[in-house]
């Protein structure tokens, strides 16, 4: 993923460890995931659903 984003592995690892991707980077991550082989289909909702689950909030 880091290579597809053109960023360092440390940046992506920090997002993983922190439990979130900065909102300004979400569209870039969605596009990069679609270019992977095999492609990964993500939407904005995937990021916000994960944030709710991590915070213990109940999904609607």
pLDDT of residue 15: 94
Cα–Cα dist 42/4, whole Å: 15
Give residue limits of the domains in the chain: 2-55
For the whole model, what pTM was predicted? 0.76
pLDDT of residue 56: 66
User: pLDDT, tens digit, for every residue of 6-44?
Assistant: 999 999 999 999 988 999 999 999 999 999 999 999 999
Q: Kindly report the length of the chain.
A: 60
Q: What is the pLDDT of residue 54?
A: 65
pLDDT at 25: 96
As a whole number of angstroms, the distance between CA 21 and CA 54 comes to 13
């Amino acid at each position: 993923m880091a290579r597809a984003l053109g960023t360092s592995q440390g940046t992506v690892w920090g997002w993983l460890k922190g439990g979130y991707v900065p909102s300004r980077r979400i569209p870039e991550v969605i596009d990069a995931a679609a270019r992977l082989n095999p492609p990964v289909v993500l939407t904005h909702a995937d990021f916000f659903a994960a944030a709710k689950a991590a915070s213990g909030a109940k999904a609607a």
